[in-house]
Structure 1
Amino acid sequence: MMTDVVEHSSGPTVPEPDQPSVEAGDTAGARTGTGTGTVEPTAAARIVQIRERIDEIDHALISLWQERAALSQEVGVTRMASGGTRLVLSREREILERFRGALGADGTQLALLLLRAGRGPL
């Protein structure tokens, strides 16, 4: 599980004595601003809402990643069982270009990870 890290130029901060520390999963603390990086209630509440949506997106991405990898593995097994090649490099280049065009250099890295998840390391 990843946690948020807040860096300040003055170094790490320690909660004030009258502010309770927040344990993992403590949503009450998140509602009061603790763990959101701000003590302003409206901003803290909005951050909690945004993070909830981010968590939903993360779950969807994980599910889609797993589905994509399984489908890609099935394509490879089917292709090899019919006498085809293990890889189709033109298809991999097409995927790399699609992601690079949409997301830039990070897209290329993401595509490489997706391809590896589906076919395994080269």
Structure 2
Amino acid sequence: MSENPSALSSNSDNETPAGKGTAAVSPFEVRTPTGTDDPLSSAEIEQYRQEINRLDNLIIDAIRRRTAISKAVGKTRLGSGGTRLVHGREVQIINSFRDELGPEGPAIASALLRMGRGRLG
């Protein structure tokens, strides 16, 4: 990570910022403007938007895969007489998302859990 607090760069060893898993290395350093006297150029904005689109596609693909895997586990669990969900596991996932992503993390985790097992009730 860059020593400049106003600049964020990709992790050179292909790890996510939290150091878990792997992620594609971003092809450029992300510059965070320091204020109105240091705006992003039109070219930078376009480059950032393209990168956001690329990342969105990766996220969508990962969500689809996660959902399919979760549904397979759930069907196996139900087929062997188990419960539809494992409460402790879901709490662990929600807490992990809170720890890694902050206050919005639990909402994201909850959406992913619903996609994998359906709504409760």
Report the TM-score range of the alignment, normalised by the length of the smaller protein: 0.5 to 0.7
Instruction: Show the counterpart of 1:109.
Output: 107
**Is there any run of 5+ residues in structure 2 with no aligned partner, and where?**
1-39
Deviations 1:61-100 (A, max 9, x none): 0000010011000000000111111110000000000001
**Runs of at least 4 residues of structure 1 off by over 6 A?**
none
Instruction: Show the counterpart of 1:69.
Output: 67
Instruction: Work out which of the residue numbers 40, 46, 50 in structure 1 matches 2:44.
Output: 46
Instruction: Work out which of the two has the higher radius of gyration on C-alpha atoms and give 1 or 2.
Output: 1
Distance (whole Å) between structure 2 residues aligned to residue 121 and residue 83 of structure 1: 20
| RMSD of aligned residue pairs (Cα, Å) | 1.0
Which secondary structure does the structure 2 equivalent of 1:121 belong to? coil
How many residue pairs were aligned?
81
More helix as a share of residues: 1
Q: TM-score, with normalisation over the residues of structure 1?
A: 0.65
Offset at 1:103?
1.1
**Is there any run of 5+ residues in structure 1 with no aligned partner, and where?**
1-41
Which amino acid letter does the alignment assign opposite residue 78 of structure 1?
A: T
Distance (whole Å) between structure 2 residues aligned to residue 45 and residue 101 of structure 1: 34
